[in-house]
Amino acid sequence: MPESGSPELDAGSTRRTPPTIEEAARLILLEIAPADVRFLPLACADFFGNAVARRRAVRATLRGRERDQPTGFDAGEGMQLVLGVVLTLLNGVACEVLTGMATERVGRVRSRWQDRRRQRALTSATAPEGEHTRLPRLSAIEAAAIGRQAGEIVRQAGLPEEDAQRVNTLLAAALTGQGS
Amino acid sequence: MATLGGPPRDEPAPADEHEDGRLAPVEPGAGILPAATPPPRLDPFALPAATTARFLLMIVVAVTSSIHLYVALFSWFVDATNSVNAAPYGCALTTQATAGRIPDRDLVTAYIGCVQGVTARNGFVLIGMVLVLVAVAVAIYLVHPRLVMLSRPRPLAQLAVDEGMAAVVRRVEEAVRAVAPKAEVYVATLRATASGRTFGRFPRYRIILDLGLLREADTDPGRLDAVLAHELAHLRNRDVGLTTFAFAIWWAYVLVVALPTLVVTVIEPIRFANLSWRLAIMLALLWLARTSVLRTREYYADLRSGSTPESERLLLSALHPRRPDAGKRRWGLLSYHPGDDERVSVLGGAPRLFRIGVAEPAAAGMLVGLGYSPCVYLVTMIWGADSTSFNAHRLVVGLVFGALATGAVAGTAWRAGLLARATHTRPPSTLLAALALTAGVLGGQLVAPPLTTSGSWASILGANPAVAIALAILLAVLFQLMLRWALLCATVWLPLARRVRSAALIGSIQSALIFGSWLSFWFGVIELMTDGAPTWNLLWVSLFSTTLNPTLQLCVLLACAFPLAGWAARRGLPPRPPSDIWRDAPPSRLAAPRVPLPAVNITALTIVLVYAAGTIPFYGRLYAALGRVPFSGTVTPAVMIGVFTPVFVAGLAVAVLGAFCFGLISGGRGNTSSAVAGAGLLMLLAVFGIVPLAFTHLSAAACGAEGMWSCLALLPGHLGLSRSGPIFTIGFAVLILAGTAAAWAGSALRSGTQALSTGPTGSLSPWGSEPQDDVTRRPVSALLALVPTTLAAALFGYLAIAAVAGAQGERVAVDRAAVIRELNAAPKGPLLPVQACVAAGSVTAELALSDAFGSGMVIGMARGAGYAMATRDPIAQAMGREGAAALLAGDLARAVDANNALRNICMVSGVVSAR
């Protein structure tokens, strides 16, 4: 098992082995929300250990907001913690749900229907080894498409454009084994 | 947006707008506050919140409105399973077998008993279905915390393993322990927001904080403090239990009511098509009512948590949008939380919680319109129709709904009254709220599926729109009177109370009694109108019958006595201590309204004296009219009306003139409300002079000066004391309507002249202009002011008891000749049963106004009996004979039973023959 944040090199190749979900999440978080990194183990345990919590996190990510809860505070503050968003994306990539969808978006009507399908797929899919599941290694074209898709989901989740761009780049790099 | 503002001043002034949208009174002269000083803000917790009643109303309506759908489902089940014994036509079959073999009276009694038994059994089945709904709701309520915990949030202590978080965890634990030691705190690691949530059930409450909130605590501890204080405020405000149960009842409604209805709709789409859209509206209404109340509770939680300047600052900072688009909600009506801007403005003092809104009364009205009729329907099924004038079952249901609706609506009137008293502004208009409440009730009636016995305004609208509109206007007038009365009571009693909260609670109980009785009698009129053809004649008879109901009279008296007692108390008690009503200012004394009590007493005395002396010159004409009146034997209602009309018209003319002068003297700009209220009291006093004087004038005119006293002693005996009461009541009702209208006209005239002389903005003199400290203590005068009301309450109480006692087996004066004439007028040939059914069902078709005072419906019942006897159907014949015999014996209750039995069997006979 490589150390966190340093995926091992493939033998005889300049490309590294694709990172695990946790490693990739750590890389992304270090870039866009360094303060969240210390909570990553807790979040991973909850995301992969509890189907209900995972479903709620995925739905909140795709909806772009958390559910309004009675007797809550709910000051309309928007997304403050990106752990759920990042884990949703990486779980989708690991389960190849995001991979399949990156090339399907055509037309508005179909896209809306696909959004629903994507939501269902993302909520039901779980990486087989949890946070230790390795992300697939993809070609540069496929990785770029997934990166764009991920960036769009990040945007949809309500995070700033700058974060969406970073996630796009980091994820694409990780999937092609270029990540640091 | 307006503001509460302004400490008490001696002079009132119109309100002005602040830059931040808050309203504060502009004080003339030395009382002006420096521009930089923010006006003090009223404490919303000074009075009880109206939201608890709204929650309870919603829960009760969810339960009772399910009866609508359960009745349809049960009826479908009976038809589908061919359960003959479960339906009233089983009774018809039994009666058919015994007709001709037992006496007519026994046949009617047996049939009615059978129908009542079947109906009661069906009622218990419906109660069972409703109990299932409640049980499911309770189950959801109990299991709700487990549902929330399905996402398995981590106990807060688990976060303490991180060194950086240990201090934060301790901080949270200490804050929670200080307010709710038993509450457990959890952390949601995957929620993206920096928020929190309270849930659970007594005594185990839980708070879930988002990890984002705790993560920020290092750099921004204020937000954590604000959110935690807000969540703890929900616990302190006892929001959690009611919120969870409201959630539970909605889902139970969906599972146990809506889902079965949808399934049956799929099976029999034509039969249930009419129910589908109603069900959708009911579901939407219940949802909207819930979110509306929850939004209001959020304001209270904010205000509770921001009770100190520091906590308020932190809360305002937490509510400040972090992104430009944050804080705006796309679906405000569906949201559980108000927008951040609205929350900030309420926190800053905007009087949103002290205003009589439009949406809340409309929602409360709609809930009442939906829930009242099925509740009465079910109670009637179990208890049977109440034949006494008390209509106990309707009254009990009316009181329940009255209490809840009052809590929801009149409570806001008290809050608006406090705002007006505290800021020296005029009490707000209640017209829009009254119209919204009316529209809500009527809308609820339109949405609710009509039930056979409890009546519906929608049915009347379909049969006679003009009458339906008249009933709607009547309801709006009643609501407007109720709201104005609540405002009046608030402005009278709040300055007198040691604790304004207690005064408001007592006032709400009074409002519940009065509003509940009005509500039940309005629905009673609807029931009467739906029962027969809704004609104008029937409307008048129903209204007069209702006016004569002693329970209603007592409630009206209570309404008169309550503000009057406040006026009397003000004269009798020493000045009250200052009230603690401000959030950020010391307690202050509320200004009391002006008391026109001396003017009331003087005007009442003048009216009585003028009436006593002014009628004497007309004795000659009266004698000429009375000479033809037979003052012996039975005096029919028609004769009674003819005798009393001239003397009462004279009394009315004098009273109206007096009230107009009273309005002219004590009214004017800003004083109209006190003038109108004073006129109501004035009429109550005057009626105690005018009615005995009317008796005296009649006796003197009919029997001369010598025989006057002997005639006077005989007159009540001829008329019967139980029918003298209605004379007082009608006299009071007519006088109060005419008198208050005249006082209003007098006040309006004075207002007009004031406006002409001073201009539209000059010399404003609201009725809170006089400080109360200048009132001289006059305990005796205060007690004397209460004497007429006490006397009236005693009289009407006696009449009420007499009416109830006399309702059982009452023998009434029946015009036997008219009965025999109707019986003989029936066609001789053998009639079809349907002809007898039509005749029996239209007993109210030829009602006259005089029927409200006496036997009523006798002619119609006689005709129905005659037609029934002329059929070949043995059951109809037996019931017709029983009805005729009862009418000739003067036993109205028996005759009504026979007529009801005939109508009932008419309804089911088609089913019997079909099977």
DSSP for B481-506, written as a single string? HHHHHHHHHHHHHGGG-SSHHHHHHH
- What pLDDT was estimated at residue A179? 57
Contact B328 A76 (CB under 8 A): yes
Bigger pLDDT: B155 vs A17: B155
Contact B297 A81 (CB under 8 A): no
Contact A66 B231 (CB under 8 A): no
Contact A70 B247 (CB under 8 A): yes
Does residue B711 contact residue B627 with C-beta atoms inside 8 Å?
A: no
DSSP-assigned states of every residue in B433-485: HHHHHHHHHHHHHHHSPP-TTT--HHHHHHH-HHHHHHHHHHHHHHHHHHHHH
Contact B247 A82 (CB under 8 A): no
**Within a domain: residue A138?**
yes
Partners of A35 on chain B (C-beta within 8 Å) are: 215
pLDDT above 80 for B343: yes
Interface test with B, best of A39, A47, A73 (most B CBs within 10 A): A73
Nearest-Cα residue of chain A relative to residue B150: A52
pLDDT above 90 for B142: yes
Interface test with B, best of A65, A71, A123 (most B CBs within 10 A): A71
Bigger pLDDT: B439 vs B220: B439
CA distance B869 to B723: 34
Our CA-based measurement puts residue B432 at a distance from the nearest CA of chain A, in whole angstroms, of: 30
Cα-Cα-Cα-Cα dihedral sign, residues B519, B522, B524, B530: negative
C-alpha distances in Å from residue B457, one per residue of A96, B438, B470, B534, B832: 61, 12, 11, 10, 32
Q: Which amino acid is at B129?
A: M
Longest dimension (CA), chain A: 59
Give the H or E element holding residue B198. strand B196-201
Task: Tell me the average pLDDT across B810-838.
Answer: 76
Q: Which amino acid is at B573?
A: L
Does A104 touch chain B if contact means CB atoms closer than 8 Å?
A: no
* B48: nearest Cα among B429, B418, B387: B418
pLDDT digits (tens, 9 = 90+) for B678-689: 888 788 788 778
pLDDT above 60 for B494: yes
pLDDT digits (tens, 9 = 90+) for B865-911: 888 888 888 888 888 889 889 888 878 778 888 888 888 888 776 54
Interface test with B, best of A29, A77, A85, A91 (most B CBs within 10 A): A77
Bigger pLDDT: B149 vs B914: B149
Lowest mean pLDDT among A70-74, A149-153, B218-222, B233-237: B218-222
Contact A50 B152 (CB under 8 A): yes
CA distance A62 to A48: 18
**Within a domain: residue A4?**
no
Nearest-Cα residue of chain A relative to residue B330: A76
CA distance B562 to A167: 70
Does A53 touch chain B if contact means CB atoms closer than 8 Å?
A: yes
* B354: nearest Cα among B413, B293, B422, B429: B413
pLDDT above 70 for B781: no
List chain A residues with pLDDT less than 50. 1-13, 106-108
pLDDT digits (tens, 9 = 90+) for B594-647: 667 778 888 988 999 998 888 877 777 777 766 655 555 555 666 666 667 777
Contact A39 B336 (CB under 8 A): no
**Within a domain: residue A60?**
yes
Our CA-based measurement puts residue B339 at a distance from the nearest CA of chain A, in whole angstroms, of: 8
* B295: nearest Cα among A77, A78, A71: A71
**Within a domain: residue A147?**
yes
Contacts of B20 (CB under 8 A, 6+ apart): B1, B3, B345, B348
- What pLDDT was estimated at residue B424? 79
Bigger pLDDT: B508 vs B184: B184
**Within a domain: residue A55?**
yes
Of A38, A73, A80, the CB nearest to B192: A80
> Domain segments of chain B: what residues?
359-573, 597-767, 816-914
pLDDT above 90 for B198: yes
Our CA-based measurement puts residue A39 at a distance from the nearest CA of chain B, in whole angstroms, of: 8
Does A90 touch chain B if contact means CB atoms closer than 8 Å?
A: no
Bigger pLDDT: B125 vs B383: B125
**Within a domain: residue A52?**
yes
- The two structure tokens encoding residue B361: 């009364």
Task: Tell me the average pLDDT across B779-789.
Answer: 68
Contact A81 B294 (CB under 8 A): no
Give the H or E element holding residue B208. strand B204-210
The angle, 0 to 180 degrees and rounded to 10, between the axes of the packed helices A21-32 and A83-94 is: 140
**pLDDT confidence bin for B376, thresholds 50/70/90:** confident
Contacts of A49 (CB under 8 A, 6+ apart): A130, B152
Lowest mean pLDDT among B225-229, B455-459, B542-546, B768-772: B768-772
Partners of B322 on chain A (C-beta within 8 Å) are: 77-78
DSSP-assigned states of every residue in A58-100: HHHHHHTSPPP-TTB----------HHHHHHHHHHHHTTHHHH
Lowest mean pLDDT among B103-112, B130-139, B542-551, B810-819: B810-819
Share of chain B above pLDDT 90, in %: 16
CA distance B608 to B614: 10
pLDDT digits (tens, 9 = 90+) for B722-731: 555 566 666 6
CA distance B724 to B720: 6
**Within a domain: residue A118?**
yes
Bigger pLDDT: B198 vs B451: B198
Share of chain B above pLDDT 70, in %: 79
- What pLDDT was estimated at residue A155? 85
CA distance B536 to B542: 10
Partners of A52 on chain B (C-beta within 8 Å) are: 150-152
Our CA-based measurement puts residue A140 at a distance from the nearest CA of chain B, in whole angstroms, of: 31
- What pLDDT was estimated at residue B803? 60
Mean pLDDT of the residues in chain B: 79
Lowest mean pLDDT among A106-120, B44-58, B103-117, B209-223: A106-120
Does residue B150 contact residue A26 with C-beta atoms inside 8 Å?
A: no
CA distance B108 to B610: 56
pLDDT digits (tens, 9 = 90+) for B674-721: 788 888 878 878 877 887 788 788 777 777 766 666 666 666 555 554
CA distance B593 to B625: 48
Expressed as residue numbers, the domain containing A167 is 21-65+79-175
